[in-house]
């Protein structure tokens, strides 16, 4: 299976076009006001129309209620809903059931015990990795834990110990996120062997401002590195 690359936090036509032209498989749009990458419904609708069938559209929300999710689904038409807050397994199941869309559930990870959270969410056939149908099953996205004083979830551009992913690799599809950039993506893939990666701040010149050259470089290096990977299990700490 080819590596799936997600470019997240897109908010302008130029950045979106670069990501699509460079071959991004997923393009993410943030619907969370505190984020510098937040997009209005008007902007999201215009950008979403440009995607057409070239990539899968992901709507990122943080502890959104049903009313907001319904508005996003109606106006933006996402292919995936990314839940990046403190949503419980029950809430994730309810969103999946109500909106009939595959879910990307973000889980913060800092220590080995954090990877056990995956077992609470990834239950049932909807969470089983299927090489032939990556656009219909749900995904777990591992991100770095936010600092204690952070006003937004996620690692805010910081990586975590990628060896922790090895303990969590099962038949559940995992997206690696958190602090990835063109300089470290090859090492991250070597250690984790994940089927998908996600980047946002790592391809920016400043918060919320995407750098076209970094987007192209990230996608190119990630794909080349993935092809070179030997076939064996991900590394883990002894």
Write out the two tokens for 163: 């060896």
Q: Does residue 8 fall inside a structural domain?
A: yes
Q: Does residue 146 fall inside a structural domain?
A: yes
Question: What is the predicted pLDDT for the residue at 168?
Answer: 57
Place of tokens 């899968």: 56
Place of tokens 């600092």: 147
Write out the two tokens for 105: 């559930």
Q: Tens digit of pLDDT for each residue in 148-174?
A: 655 555 445 678 899 888 655 568 889
Q: Tens digit of pLDDT for each residue in 184-224?
A: 999 999 999 999 999 999 999 999 999 999 999 999 999 99
Domain that holds residue 221: 4-228
Q: Does residue 124 fall inside a structural domain?
A: yes
Q: Does residue 100 fall inside a structural domain?
A: yes
Q: What distance in Å separates the CA atoms of residue 208 and residue 218, rounded to the nearest whole number?
A: 17
CA angle 54, 58, 62 (to 5 degrees): 165
Q: Does residue 237 fall inside a structural domain?
A: no
Find the CATH number of the domain harbouring 45.
3.20.20.70
Q: Does residue 233 fall inside a structural domain?
A: no
Question: What is the predicted pLDDT for the residue at 148?
Answer: 64
Q: What distance in Å separates the CA atoms of residue 25 and residue 2, rounded to the nearest whole number?
A: 10
Instruction: Please tell me the pTM assigned to this model.
Output: 0.91
Answer for the pair 110, 145: CB distance below 8 angstroms, yes or no: yes
Domain count, the chain: 1
Chain centroid offset of residue 105 CA: 9
């Amino acid at each position: 299976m080819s590596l799936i690359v997600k470019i997240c936090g897109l908010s302008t036509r130029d950045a979106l076009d670069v990501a699509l032209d460079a071959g991004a498989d997923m393009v993410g749009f943030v619907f969370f006001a505190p984020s510098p990458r937040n997009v209005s419904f008007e902007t999201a609708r215009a950008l979403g129309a440009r995607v057409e069938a070239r990539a899968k559209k992901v709507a990122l929300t943080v502890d959104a209620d049903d009313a907001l999710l319904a508005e996003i689904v109606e106006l933006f038409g996402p292919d995936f809903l990314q839940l990046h807050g403190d949503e419980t397994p029950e809430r994730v199941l309810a969103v999946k059931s109500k909106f009939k869309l595959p879910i990307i559930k973000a889980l913060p990870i800092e220590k080995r015990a954090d990877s056990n959270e995956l077992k609470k969410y990834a239950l049932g056939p909807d969470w089983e990795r299927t090489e032939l149908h990556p656009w219909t099953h749900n995904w777990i996205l591992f991100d770095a834990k936010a600092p204690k004083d952070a006003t937004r979830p996620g690692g805010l551009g910081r990586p975590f110990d990628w060896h922790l992913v090895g303990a969590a690799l099962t038949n559940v599809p995992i997206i690696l996120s958190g602090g990835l950039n063109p300089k470290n993506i090859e090492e991250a893939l070597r250690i984790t062997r994940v089927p998908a990666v996600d980047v946002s701040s790592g391809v920016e010149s400043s918060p919320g401002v995407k750098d076209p050259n970094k987007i192209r470089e990230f996608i190119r290096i990630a794909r080349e590195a993935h092809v070179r990977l030997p076939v064996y299990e991900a590394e883990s700490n002894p």
